[in-house]
């Protein structure tokens, strides 16, 4: 079973106190590197550091990797292939995504666009849907097989600083031990409290943090293929824009897995406060939508969860390099739109490279470790984020964009398909007047200009 893979390496034992009498103060364990969090960023960093011969400890608070996540996700296989060649041959993915759709929704209709191609079904695949637990377990198993020691149920309570340099971590109860290392890689996910408490990054603004709800709904594989018009084994991702995010900018989507479907939706934390509703309300909007409800009919809810995504974009990236410490993945706000897993893995890869260079030169200063930032800067990770740098501000400054223009699009489509007893020119004028009654032409042009500036970068 995949969940057993990561158990193959026997974890080293932490020093134990004798049963009776006060324990002599045992010297803390020491590693070349400690990685906090066995998610995509942490397990990738641990794998490459261990593969390069470093003595690595990978700490995960959950009882198994992925325990703190739910449902599934889509990964960009082409980018993971560069890290783990032909990984799909050993990893049980769910579906090969060959259909990518965008639906602009109002409350009762949808304007859609999409791309479907059998060419996407050929390796190296573009996107694969994966079950989180399987993916996290597989990745952690790779790190263990490369020689990293994985300890589950170990929550890091704080990083240990000595004269401004990170020298290890302190574990929360029940272990309550200090563990030392030359380098710590913080890969503890969105809203890294460890980095914040240590004063390494500023507190994340609720404007830059989105809360997502996710529901996994079981459906038979044939039902999924019939309803989503898919050949056997192939999958679809539908991005939902407008109605699901209740008048605020945010994202929502439907992902197909082998025998289940995920729906998820999220908006900025402060938008929930402003709107006075919760993440579950967004899922309810999706499930009730007349265009979506038939796709989910008869499905049984398997899981439900909520999680955060740091969506502040390029300008919200905190300092990632500190003496003796690197921040990777979501903890460093390395998320581009809703793409996070691939960026997390690549940041883990680059953190490992920088850690190896520091170890071989015995120099753990921020200057030496800044190789990490250089590698990120030179790669698609930060170049893509930089290209989208203005998108986050646009979403914040014009929170009505997704909802308003989805409604306008649907209204224009509805009025256009209606056959009114009037000449075509009069009908065009009528549709234009109706649609621009939702947003004056001057404001439409101003919004178009704003979007253009974001696209131009």
Ligand X SMILES: Cc1cc2nc3c(=O)[nH]c(=O)nc-3n(C[C@H](O)[C@H](O)[C@H](O)COP(=O)(O)OP(=O)(O)OC[C@H]3O[C@@H](n4cnc5c(N)ncnc54)[C@H](O)[C@@H]3O)c2cc1C
Q: How far is the CB of 136 from ligand X (least distance, A)?
A: 7
Q: How far is the CB of 32 from ligand X (least distance, A)?
A: 19
CB nearer to ligand X: pick between 131 and 390: 131
Draw the binding track, 140-169, toward ligand X (x: CB under 6 A; -: no contact).
---------------xx-------------
Buried b (16+ CB within 10 A) or exposed e, 42-72: bbbbbbbbbbbebbbbbbbbbebbbbbbbbb
Q: How far is the CB of 352 from ligand X (least distance, A)?
A: 13
CB nearer to ligand X: pick between 169 and 431: 169
CB nearer to ligand X: pick between 135 and 356: 135
**Where would I find the beta strands (DSSP E) of 14-126?**
29-36, 56-59, 72-76, 95-105, 110-116
CB nearer to ligand X: pick between 145 and 306: 306
Measuring CA to CA, which residue among 390, 394, 395 is closest to residue 457?
390
Stretch that binds ligand X, among 184-192, 296-304, 315-323, 439-447 (CB under 6 A): 184-192
Q: What is d(CA 242, CA 403) in angstroms, rounded to the nearest whole number?
A: 4
Q: What are phi and psi of 308, to 5 degrees?
A: -105, 150
CB nearer to ligand X: pick between 106 and 210: 210
Draw the binding track, 85-124, toward ligand X (x: CB under 6 A; -: no contact).
----------------------------------------
Tokens found for residue 251: 């994202």
Contacts of 425 (CB under 8 A, 6+ apart): none
Q: What is d(CA 416, CA 432) in angstroms, rounded to the nearest whole number?
A: 10
Q: Which of residues 24-83 bind ligand X (CB under 6 A)?
A: 36-42, 59-62, 68, 73-75
What's CA 74's distance to the chain center, in Å?
9
Phi-psi region of 337 (alpha: psi -120 to 50; beta: other; left: phi over 0): left
CB nearer to ligand X: pick between 299 and 329: 329
Q: Which of residues 210-239 bind ligand X (CB under 6 A)?
A: 212, 214
Q: Does 252 bind ligand X (CB under 6 A)?
A: no
Q: Does 358 bind ligand X (CB under 6 A)?
A: no
The strand pairing partners of 310, in sequence order, are: 209
Identify the residue among 142, 243, 322, 339 touching ligand X (CB under 6 A).
339
User: Cis ω on the peptide bond leading into residue 174 (within 30° of 0)?
Assistant: yes
Q: Helix, strand or coil for residue 362? A: coil
Write out the residues near ligand X by the rule CB under 6 A: 36-42, 59-62, 68, 73-75, 155-156, 187-189, 194, 212, 214, 264, 307, 309, 329-331, 335, 338-342, 344
């Amino acid at each position: 079973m995949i969940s057993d893979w990561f158990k193959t390496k026997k974890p080293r034992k932490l020093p134990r106190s004798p049963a009776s009498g006060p324990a002599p103060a045992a010297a803390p364990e020491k590693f070349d590197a400690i990685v906090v969090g066995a998610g995509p960023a942490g397990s990738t960093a641990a794998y490459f550091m261990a593969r390069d011969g470093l003595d690595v400890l990978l700490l995960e608070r959950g009882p198994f990797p992925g325990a703190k996540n739910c449902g599934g996700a889509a990964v960009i296989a082409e980018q993971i292939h560069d890290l783990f060649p032909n990984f799909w041959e050993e990893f049980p993915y769910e579906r090969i995504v060959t259909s990518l759709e965008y639906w602009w929704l109002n409350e009762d209709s949808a304007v859609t666009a999409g791309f479907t191609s059998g060419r996407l079904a050929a390796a190296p695949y573009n996107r694969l849907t994966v079950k989180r637990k399987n993916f996290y377990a597989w990745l952690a198993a790779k790190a263990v097989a490369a020689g990293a020691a994985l300890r589950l149920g170990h929550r890091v309570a704080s990083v240990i600083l000595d004269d401004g340099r990170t020298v290890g971590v302190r574990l929360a109860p029940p272990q309550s031990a200090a563990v030392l290392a030359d380098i710590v890689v913080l890969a503890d996910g969105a809203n890294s409290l460890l980095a914040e408490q240590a004063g390494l990054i500023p507190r994340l603004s609720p404007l830059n943090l989105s809360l997502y709800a996710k529901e996994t709904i079981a459906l038979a594989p044939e039902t999924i293929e019939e309803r989503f018009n898919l050949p056997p084994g192939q999958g679809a991702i539908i991005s939902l824009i407008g109605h699901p995010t209740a008048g605020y900018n945010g994202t929502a989507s439907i992902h197909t897995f082998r025998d289940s479907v995920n729906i998820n939706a999220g908006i900025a934390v402060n938008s929930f406060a402003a709107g006075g509703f919760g993440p579950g309300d967004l899922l309810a909007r999706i499930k009730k939508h007349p265009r979506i409800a038939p796709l989910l009919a008869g499905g049984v809810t398997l899981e439900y969860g909520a999680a955060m995504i740091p969506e502040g974009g390029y300008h919200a990236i905190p300092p990632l390099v500190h003496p003796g410490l690197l921040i990777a993945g979501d903890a460093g706000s390395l998320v581009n739109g809703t793409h996070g897993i691939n960026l997390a893995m690549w940041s883990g890869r680059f953190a490992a490279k920088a850690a190896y260079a520091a170890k071989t030169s015995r120099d753990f200063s921020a200057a030496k470790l800044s190789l990490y930032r250089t590698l990120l800067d030179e790669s698609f990770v930060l170049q893509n984020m930089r290209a989208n740098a203005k998108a986050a501000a646009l979403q914040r400054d014009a929170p009505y964009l997704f909802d308003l223009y989805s409604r306008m699009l649907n209204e224009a489509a509805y009025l256009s398909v209606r056959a009114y007893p009037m000449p075509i020119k009069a009908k065009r004028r009528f549709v234009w007047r109706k649609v621009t009654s939702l947003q004056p032409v001057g404001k439409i042009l101003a919004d178009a200009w704003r979007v253009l500036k974001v696209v131009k970068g």
